[in-house]
Amino acid sequence: MSHVSSHSPHGQTPLHTVQVLGGGSAGSSAHVRSLAAGLAARGVRVTVCAPSEAAGDYDLTGTGARHVHVPRRGDPASVASLRVACADADLVHAHGLHAALRAALALAGRRTPLVVTWHTRAHAEGARARVLHLLERRVAKAAAVVLGTSSDLVDRARSRGARDARLAPVTLPAPRAVPGAAEEPEGHRHKVRAELGAVDRPLIVAVGALERQRGYDVLLGAARTWRHLDPLPLLAIAGEGPERGALQRRIEAEGLPAQLVGRRDDVPELLAAADLVVLPSSWESRSVLAQEALHARVPLVATAVGGIPELVGDAAVLVPYGDPEALATAVARLLADPALRERLKDKGTAQAATWPTEDETVTQVLSVYDELTQRIIVH
């Protein structure tokens, strides 16, 4: 038995892992919180290096982990503070490319194993795409193990030179309870629909940052096509981002039945009120929205890109990316067929039951840690 056994029998030193979080998308931040709590519960010492905002938003210290503020920057001072935080770590686990690059710099010259989880894929064009490619190669080669949240990310890591890349689906933490919603779900649903102006018409919901790769221009093209439907569906897009101005101008210029409802902190309620959820992205790994929709028993129309087909199986209607006609047709077909919507809800529940639990996710990650720390210890 090595002296870094995670369960620290006979008074041996417990395993110490440092989790490095960068800007932290919602998915990676929630995963780090879940991982920190699960590892701490198993007797692992956990330090989370993350910007203070992320630590506050996700209550990272409430997990039993120690938090060290490290800004999302690659400057020498930030790397130096990360290097100090990792000084007595048995293993460092970085989440996302930028966090992984900083961790690799901080560990330069040390034998501490680095695990990197690729939660998503960055989008870049032209010169930035070449820089991104170099960054991905640097990170893939620095990692002892790369964990990809979807099969195509695992393939990407291998193509960038990763020695060891494995599929490690990240679980969606259990949905938080909505106050009052459990007692009277219909009343709650009606309230959200009334607020949006969709009491006697179908409500279609999309959630995510207003960025080009999210495919909202295609979605508005679909909304234009389904203007002939009666009753006319309302499309509500929740999120903020650089495309907001262009999308709003198009909605007004074309008189589209769509609203940009801004960033919402009540996404579970919004999904529960929806008749359909749409995910029109050009690429997704393990989409949080897709998981939330299936858990909430809301029929999903999504693009067949990245990790989505693997995630949803036959529990969603999949369409090609960039095809507004196909998207509009799928939406119209579902709205016209209540029996199909019910079948999709049941399939969604069954599919969600196949996803790993938080406990299984922590167990898989811990087995990787044990494997790597045993390798470097002389018995």
- Structural domains in the chain, CATH included, are 9-171+357-374 (3.40.50.2000), 185-352 (3.40.50.2000)
Whether 61 has a pLDDT exceeding 70, the answer reads yes
Mean pLDDT of all residues in 53-79: 85
pLDDT confidence band for 175 (50 / 70 / 90): low
Whether 73 has a pLDDT exceeding 90, the answer reads no
φ and ψ at 133, to 5 degrees? Answer: -60, -45
φ and ψ at 218, to 5 degrees? Answer: -65, -40
Strands (E), 83-168: 91-95, 114-118, 145-148, 165-167
Whether 376 has a pLDDT exceeding 60, the answer reads no
Dist. CA 333–CA 222, nearest whole Å: 13
Whether 377 has a pLDDT exceeding 70, the answer reads no
For 290, the token pair is: 């897709």
- For the chain, the residue count is 379
Quickly count: other Cβ atoms within 10 Å of residue 99's Cβ. 28
* Nearest alpha-carbon partner for 302 in 323, 285, 327, 324: 327
Quickly count: other Cβ atoms within 10 Å of residue 378's Cβ. 4
Positive or negative, the CA dihedral 132, 171, 354, 169 is positive
- Only one residue has tokens 């690729």, namely 118
The residues near 209 (Cβ < 8 Å, ≥ 6 apart) are 239, 240, 241
Could you tell me if 349 and 291 are in contact, meaning their C-beta atoms sit under 8 angstroms apart?
Answer: no
pLDDT confidence band for 172 (50 / 70 / 90): confident
Mean pLDDT of all residues in 291-308: 96
Dist. CA 17–CA 114, nearest whole Å: 10
Q: How far is CA 339 from CA 200, 252, 333, 343, 346, in A?
A: 20, 34, 11, 6, 11
- For residue 186, count CB atoms less than 10 angstroms from its CB and return exposed for 0-12, middle for 13-18, buried for 19 or more: exposed
Q: What is the pLDDT of residues 126-168, one digit of tens each?
A: 899 999 999 999 999 999 999 999 999 999 999 999 999 999 9
Q: What is the pLDDT of residues 222-271, one digit of tens each?
A: 999 999 899 999 999 999 999 999 999 999 999 999 999 999 989 999 99
Determine what percent of the chain is predicted with pLDDT higher than 90: 75
pTM reported for the whole predicted model: 0.86
Average pLDDT over the chain, rounded to an integer: 90
- Cis status of the peptide bond prior to 9, with omega within 30 of 0: no
Q: Report the alpha-carbon angle 61-171-326, nearest 5.
A: 130
- pLDDT value at residue 375: 62
- pLDDT value at residue 2: 40
DSSP 245-293: HHHHHHHHHHT-SEEEEE--S-HHHHHHH-SEEEE--S--SS-HHHHHH
* Nearest alpha-carbon partner for 47 in 80, 4, 94, 113: 94
Mean pLDDT of all residues in 206-213: 94
* Nearest alpha-carbon partner for 144 in 114, 112, 104: 114
